[in-house]
Chains A and B, each alone.
Chain A
Amino acid sequence: MPALPGIGYEEEIAEVQGKLQALEGLGLPTAAWKTVAIARAQKRPQFLDYIPYLAPDFVELHGDRVGGDDRAIVGGVGSLDGRTVVFVGHQKGHDLKERQLRNFGMARPEGYRKAQRLFLTAERLNLPVVTLVDTPGAFPGLDAERGGQAWAISRTLQVLAGLKVPTVAFIIGEGGSGGALALALCDRVFMLENAIYSVITPEGCAAILWRDAAAAPRAAEALQLTACELLELGLIDGIVPEPRGGAAGRARTMARRILKLAVDTLTELRGLKSSELCVARRRRYLAVGLSSGPDQGWSQFP
């Protein structure tokens, strides 16, 4: 752009330049960063807030049948609009006491093993699966590592990948990395309007790529982790709209919307044979990252 001619504009130019610099400032709150805050808000409804509305007869089932019962992952059976569904999801907890009990929604290997076991029960009884995803990520503690966190997650992915019953995931708050994917590798994936779903936390991304945790707002923007962006990228199937001001305090309203979408989706998926279901699921995930347009790829090695 050519420089503006004449006198009297210097001030305006300086102001615009200042604004531009501020926009480039690392810590500036971006739209994505605001969504991250909403998605993580303590008051936002969680699995146990939704479940009484989704399935009033919900019975929680416990334990991984190996040696533990992880409270960060909740699962059980309940009827969704008159038909039994296996529900599995993360529970972060609201107050400090519950958050500690739930380990802030960060599951250990026993949590993922509990999920596997419930998924397999669903398959055995020919019941569909609905997951509600809300976790900052898998628990990074030493005990979780020793217990084989990576192995527990990959095995959970494998169980979901081959499950012979319909699976639907709702990202209700924070979809953090592999710990979220372990419950979200489903036939259909929906996000609540203000939920986020990301490969890494914006803070972690900022610390690694910008070498400055204060760049998190900018990292949040770059990662394209909001529901709208992910829908546009074709990585999720739909968005559950939230009332003005977000889902906080509106568990009932949101549950009704989730329920309707879940019922419609399961009705559609029930029409498929289990073999068709598995083939379609496989196709879907094998196609992630392929270019539909002209070949942008790299070539043979060597």
Chain B
Amino acid sequence: MNRLEHLFSTKENILNIYTTAGFPKLNDTIETIKELAASGVDMVEIGMPFSDPLADGPTIQHSSEVAIENGITLNIIFDQIKEIRKTVDIPIMLMGYINQLMKYGVEDFLAKAAAVGVDGFILPDLPLDIYQEEYKALFEKHNLKMSFLITPQTTDDRIKLIAKESTAFLYVVSSFAITGSKSDLQQGQLDYFKKIEAMKLNTPKLIGFGISNADTFNTACNYANGAIIGSAFIKTLTTATTELKTTIHNFIEPLK
């Protein structure tokens, strides 16, 4: 059983934290993930910094720019994950853009990712139909799971289709938005979560975008298997005055 399948079949209120590889400093990825796991986070997403991250808001964009300046590369990310896997067993997903995989060579990339212990992928600009036609077999060959996004505009039929292909979890985007943390969830968003819940999909669901604190996290958990925090975590790393370990510990504590 893949780590993701195991997690979703044994736990509720899943806390998934996004961090950008190579940020704030090149090798902070390792300590960050170790500390997140030690603080009780259920799974992590590691962002592969990209020059043109279309689906990301200013906070994550900025962290990607810093990481690229720090010299992050895909092979360094693989090395970091290899190091992390010596002590960390929670699921690790990679998030990035399809151009990065294409340039590396998709087959080669997936083989390396699987070898270092990556469990799945979120690739926001890889459309479902192209995934199905060109790439799905390769992901399956390496037992790598996928998460696709749905938004308030996604039709019911399409939600079902996307849920079926989302072998990791269904990524429920909370609003019309790029990534970025807002402080609360509006009624319209809650209605949308309720609608998805009522569809009784077999795929586990995590709510992401706009989840920033214990309040929004707990609300999201009422409607899904858990939630994803990204920008709020990156913002905390960006403005931190304490050392990395303490900053992470203090950020996660109120969420548990």
Q: Do A and B bind each other?
A: no
